[in-house]
Structures are given as C-alpha cells and as structure tokens.
Amino acid sequence: MRIRPRRNRRSPALRELVSEHALTVSDLIWPLFVQEGTGCATPIPAMPGCARYSLDLLCEQAQAAAALGIRAVAVFPALPESAKDPLASAACHPDGLMARALRALKAAVPDLLVIADVAMDPYSSDGHDGIVRDGRILNDETLPILAAMACTQAAAGADIVAPSDMMDGRVAAIRDALDAAGHQEVGICAYCVKYASAFYGPFRTALDSAPRGGDKKSYQMDPANCREVQREVALDEAEGADWLIVKPGLPYLDIVRQVREQSPLPLVVYHVSGEYAMLQAAAAAGWLDYEACLIESLLACKRAGADLIITYGACDAARLLA
Ligand code: PBG
C-alpha cells in the first residue's frame, strides 16, 4: 500500500510531532462558588469534587489553583433565600457577598484574573435572569440592573465581567455604564450563544437558583437553532464584547466551530455542570475513566475552535497536564 495513514501514528514521538491541537493549563478557567460564613465548604452533591466556599476558603482554593498554573477563575455567589428579592438588589450592594468575594480574591491572589458573572438569577427570588412581571421576563427594565451589577463588580476588582443573562442589548448597556464609571479597562466576556439547556441542572442546585416558575426559553436559545447564532455574534461584537462564550460545550461543538469561523474574538467554551456531572457519575459507577474522559472532552473543545474553556475539572486537568 502506498498510502498508509498509520505510518504517522507509529510511535509516541511521531504522534506528538503531527499532533494538531494541544490543551494547556493557560486554556483553563475554573468556576468557583462562594457563600457566607467562615471555614465553610458545602459540598454540591450533583457536582462531586465541587463545593461552595466561604471567603476564607475561597481564597485558599484560588491560591491552590494559581499554584497549579490556572490563570483565571469565574465566581458565582450562593445567597441565602432571605437575601433574594424580585429586583436582585443584593447584586448591587458594594458590600454584598460577590463584591466582598472579588475584593478578597484580588487581595489574596493579585495575579489571578477574576471573572464575575453578571445575571440576576442567584440574587432573584424568582430565579430568573431578568425582572419578572405577569410571568414575562422584562428585557429593557432589566438592563439597568445588569449595568449596575457590573459596575459594582468592577469597583470591587473584577477584571472581566461576564453577562450570562441573554437579555438583548446588555453588552452595550454594560459597556456604557462601565465606561461612564471609569472602568474602561474592565473587559466584557459575553455569554453570546447560550442555549436553554437541561445540562445546567447541577449548577442550579449549587446556587438554588432554578426558576421558581416557568423556564428560560424566552431568553436562552433554542437547542434546535444555529442560524440565529450569527445574529447573536454580530450583536455582541458590535456592542463591544471582548470575548465570546458558547455554552454548553460538548453537545454544541458544531456551534463552537461556527462561531470560530465568524468571529476573530477570543472564544470561550463553557463545559457546564451537567457535562461534568455525567463524567463524575459514570466514573463513580466504574463505567468510565474520569481523567481520560475529562482531558478528551477539553481537547475536543479546543479542536472545535475554543481558545479557552471554563470547566469544573480545571484543577484536575491542570494536575494531569503538569
Ligand atoms: C445563570 C447561569 C447558569 C449557568 C451559569 N450562569 C444557569 C442558568 O442559566 O440557569 C450554568 C453553568 C453550569 O451549568 O455549569 N445566569
């Protein structure tokens, strides 16, 4: 046979030389959940290996991640029900849980990039990403809340804010508000293409943030669609997004490739809670190898066109790559 593809797979050295994509620790962003208290680490049953940390332990976790070479964390707050209200007011308190977490992280690990999630749901008594009125999610009325939330986070030290709410026009609203408040250098990592996915289930148990009524289908995207991705990308670029996110990850790698081809912006894939939970559950049952499947999943995201990956397995992957 003249043509033998297997010649290029003969030895480890040869395989490494012809390898097309690589996963490195600087591709990884680690999500962290923060809660009130001291010395608290509350495990999240649906996400084995993950916990909600009080500020002191959050900083220890961040330090440990940085020591593994992780360059960025994405912070999500878990508020007690009593702190939630229909307008997500707690999100804009300069001394709220999120603001204190951001300040503590920047003080403890100054070189670690801190990404703050902008969305009402963890702070909302309705569990929605926008204001709810008569069962509808209001778009334009929600924008000032998102803008104020982003400014609070920027003032507390967030390097990047990441709107994950899917309201129309929020990137522009946040950019204008950040600029007006003197935060021109704070970046916006937009959840540009976010599907209404059942794979977010474990995350919602972590924050107790599931919608109290209805679902998120009037603002998050229909999993059946790919053409409207072009509009979302064009809008977020025009509104001033610095990075784009596609979410979830593995079930949407065709979309990752599509966005990669449309936009030159840094592209982030969110390997979400349900994807992580599936790996952990199958591994716990002895049905698959967590470490090998994690690395393969993350490499698949890179191959599809991701520059960066948000994954609950970031520290595990960092240890495996070391
Ligand atoms: C909400 C938000 C969600 C996630 C990140 N931000 C859940 C949702 O939209 O209901 C999910 C992340 C994950 O599943 O890992 N603004």
Over residues 168-177, the pLDDT tens digits come to 999 999 999 9
Q: How far apart are CA 196 and CA 194, in angstroms?
A: 7
Q: How far is the CA of 11 from the centre of ligand 1 (A)?
A: 42
Query: Which residue has the CA at smallest separation from atom 5 of ligand 1?
Result: 164
Ligand 1 atom with minimal separation from the 199 CA = 14
Active-site annotation holder among 194, 216, 217, 302: 194
Q: How far is the CA of 120 from the centre of ligand 1 (A)?
A: 11
- Concerning whether 247 is annotated as a catalytic residue, the answer is yes
Structure tokens of 204? Answer: 């919602």
Q: How far is the CA of 283 from the centre of ligand 1 (A)?
A: 24
Ligand 1 atom with minimal separation from the 210 CA = 10
Q: Is the dihedral of CA 309, 76, 161, 153 positive or negative?
A: negative
- Work out the percent of the chain whose per-residue pLDDT is above 70: 100
Query: Which residue has the CA at smallest separation from atom 8 of ligand 1?
Result: 200
Q: How far is the CA of 200 from the centre of ligand 1 (A)?
A: 6
Active-site annotation holder among 84, 106, 216, 247: 247
Query: Which residue has the CA at smallest separation from atom 2 of ligand 1?
Result: 164
Most informative mutation of 203, 217, 310 for ligand 1 (most atoms within 8 A of CB): 203
The three-state secondary structure class of 247 is strand
Q: What is the pLDDT of residues 148-161, one digit of tens each?
A: 999 999 999 999 99
Q: Which residues contact 105 (CB under 8 A, 6 or more apart)?
A: 58, 59, 62, 73, 75, 112, 114, 157
Band of pLDDT at residue 186, cut at 50, 70 and 90: very high
Q: How far apart are CA 176 and CA 314, in angstroms?
A: 33
Most informative mutation of 50, 200, 250 for ligand 1 (most atoms within 8 A of CB): 200
Ligand 1 atom with minimal separation from the 119 CA = 16
Mean pLDDT, to the nearest integer, of 24-41?
A: 98
Q: How far is the CA of 19 from the centre of ligand 1 (A)?
A: 33
The three-state secondary structure class of 308 is strand
Ligand 1 atom with minimal separation from the 220 CA = 9
pTM of the model: 0.97
Q: Which residues contact 214 (CB under 8 A, 6 or more apart)?
A: 128, 135
- Work out the percent of the chain whose per-residue pLDDT is above 90: 99
Q: What is the pLDDT of residues 192-249, one digit of tens each?
A: 999 999 999 999 999 889 999 999 999 999 999 999 999 999 999 999 999 999 999 9
DSSP count for the chain of H helices, then E strands:
11, 12
Q: What is the pLDDT of residues 42-81, one digit of tens each?
A: 999 999 999 999 999 999 999 999 999 999 999 999 999 9
Q: How far is the CA of 247 from the centre of ligand 1 (A)?
A: 9
Q: Which residues contact 212 (CB under 8 A, 6 or more apart)?
A: 125, 126, 127, 128
Pocket of ligand 1 (CB under 6 A): 117, 119, 121, 129, 164-165, 200, 203-204, 216, 272-273
- Concerning whether 106 is annotated as a catalytic residue, the answer is no
